Amino acid sequence: MLYCFMKVIKILSIIGIICFFNNLSFAANSYKFNFLVCDSLKNANYNFGIENKKKYLLIYKLKNDFFKKSKVKLNKKNNIINLKKDNYFENNIYLDLTKKQFYFLKNNEFLGGCFIVKSKRTMNCKLKSYYNVFKGKLPLNCD
């Protein structure tokens, strides 16, 4: 009986260790991108781009046809990034990198999603294109 109990404990310990390391690798994979474009379905004022600089993230926000940049410290243990008003947004939002979606901070209302793009030029082009559509202008052709 004691032998059987020890076997069960050993198996549960191994499963726990596997789950722990699997969760760590999943968190690290959330940051495996160079450029992200985040598009709000409701308001283009919440569109932004992210460049991964490995030690920090650069947030790109289009303001009056120019891109403003701000740094956000990288924390690979946490997959949630808070983007405050001082990052050029009207309200505080947060980005969940595991889902690649972002929400209002105060009420968790879904704002939009993010997707990986291949270059900074493509990221900037897509952000300008989305803003054009929001303003009733023609979209840009981005490669």
Looking at the fold, whether 17 and 82 belong to one and the same domain comes out as no
Looking at the fold, whether 13 and 75 belong to one and the same domain comes out as no
Q: Which residues face 49 on adjacent strands?
A: 37, 60
- Retrieve residue 102's tokens: 């972002």
Q: Which pTM value belongs to this model?
A: 0.76
**Do the domain assignments include residue 142?**
no
Q: How does pLDDT run across 63-105, given as a tens digit for each residue?
A: 888 899 988 887 777 788 888 877 678 889 999 988 999 999 8
Looking at the fold, whether 52 and 24 belong to one and the same domain comes out as no
| Helix/strand/coil percentages in the chain, nearest 5 | 35, 35, 35
Mean pLDDT of the chain: 81
Q: Which residue has the higher pLDDT, 47 or 30?
A: 47
Measure the CA–CA gap between 104 and 81, rounded to whole angstroms. 12
Burial of 64 (0-12, 13-18, 19+ CB in 10 A): exposed
For residue 48, what are the CA distances in angstroms to 5, 53, 136, 140?
A: 54, 16, 19, 16
Looking at the fold, whether 37 and 54 belong to one and the same domain comes out as yes
**Do the domain assignments include residue 76?**
yes
Say what the pLDDT of residue 42 is. 79
Looking at the fold, whether 42 and 62 belong to one and the same domain comes out as yes
Nearest Cα neighbor of 54 from 32, 25, 87 is 32
Looking at the fold, whether 120 and 57 belong to one and the same domain comes out as yes
**Do the domain assignments include residue 97?**
yes
Looking at the fold, whether 26 and 38 belong to one and the same domain comes out as no
Looking at the fold, whether 24 and 81 belong to one and the same domain comes out as no
CB 80 within 8 A of CB 97: yes
In the predicted model, is pLDDT for residue 6 greater than 70?
Answer: no
**Do the domain assignments include residue 98?**
yes
Looking at the fold, whether 49 and 119 belong to one and the same domain comes out as yes
Listed in sequence order, the residues at least 6 apart from 67 whose beta carbon sits closer than 8 Å to its beta carbon are 60, 61, 124, 127
Looking at the fold, whether 61 and 107 belong to one and the same domain comes out as yes
Looking at the fold, whether 42 and 9 belong to one and the same domain comes out as no
Looking at the fold, whether 23 and 53 belong to one and the same domain comes out as no
Domain residues for 14?
Answer: 1-30
